[in-house]
Amino acid sequence: MAGPWEVILASPRSVCAGVERAIEAVRVVLATSGPPVYVRKQIVHNTHVVAELTGRGAVFVENLDQVPDGAVVVFSAHGVSPAVRATAAKRGLRVVDATCPLVAKVHVEAKRYAAQGYTIVLIGHAGHEEVEGTLDEAPDRTVLVRRVDDVVDLQIPDPDRVVLLTQTTLAVDETAEIVAALRARFPAVTRPSGGDICYATTNRQNAVRAVARHCDLVLVVGSANSSNSVRMVEIARREGVSAYLIDDADQIEARWLAGVRCVGVSAGASAPQRLVDDVVSHLRSLGPLRIRELAIATEDMRFALPWPAITHAAQPPEDLP
């Protein structure tokens, strides 16, 4: 018999509420105002989503200077800096802000703590859009920490007024190590209630960890620039199994499946479920297959579309709330 004999689907998996909201915002504006609709950066970090929206008439740009004056522009789920917002206002751009509400929460925290005189220690990946946007909320009061080693030489003006914020898509276990190091150096460090790593990131990491403990191989559907997807692969590997990040079923290599009897399948928070279905179909084509789901949590979170901004750009269709 060729191929694996069992596939275990991690649950939760695939798109989260913030991603779903951002993608739908672009679709609605395209449907109501018509193309072109400009999107600053990738709306979410997934090549298939970007390709689909491009086919509908979305134009993805790196900078606002690529957007014509007065045009509609959508801010991605990862958020933007105050400087970007100011530029959009100055240019008279009609903005649809698709920033994930959980990312926006971190921005609010950064502004609040900076106003209270705290030094903000932001754990995150340099160059990531989400981190860049958060850093710019209080650049003079924020320091970026990427790993435990960064804590050793960290200098804080007032060790009694330190707050810890994080990128929302980090690996929970690795972040915990950095947090422990920070607490050891700065015992007075405070942290917003509940932390900043989002529920969807945490759930997907826990689910892929649980699946990895039952399987010989784990496939995570997601693009290479998707931070949360990359973290899921790393977590599976730390469980001692082979794990690969794939954009779609076409990237599965036959050699990965040699001697494998059980494959775990999951998807990052920006990868559509249809891509997971394609992976399962590909594995099914290799031979008889048993499929089961391993669920560690139920997600019912939904975020309302950013209607005030969308209606500024165009009127929503009557059949949408």
Task: List, in order, residues 6 or more apart from 112 with CB less than 8 Å away.
Answer: none
CA dist 52 and 155 (Å) reads: 46
DSSP, collapsed to helix, strand or coil, labels residue 253 as: coil
* Active-site residue, selected from the candidate residues 130, 177, 239, 299: 130
Q: Quote the longest CA-to-CA distance of the chain.
A: 65
* Active-site residue flag, 109: no
Angle 303-44-163 (CA atoms, 0-180°, nearest 5)? 70
Which secondary structure element, helix H or strand E, spans residue 120, and what is its range?
strand 119-123
DSSP 122-161: EES-TT-HHHHHHHTTSGGGEEEE-STHHHHT---S-TTS
Dihedral in degrees, nearest 10, Cα atoms 212, 217, 218, 223? 150
Q: Is the peptide bond before 187 cis (omega within 30 degrees of 0)?
A: no
DSSP 8-state assignment for residue 68: P
DSSP 234-286: HHHHHTTSEEEEESSGGG--GGGGTT--EEEEEE-TTS-HHHHHHHHHHHHTT
DSSP, collapsed to helix, strand or coil, labels residue 163 as: strand
CA dist 289 and 44 (Å) reads: 32
Token pair 């971190």 is found at 106
Angle 92-95-100 (CA atoms, 0-180°, nearest 5)? 150
Token pair belonging to 235: 């977590």
Strand partners, 94: 72
The catalytic site residues sit at 130
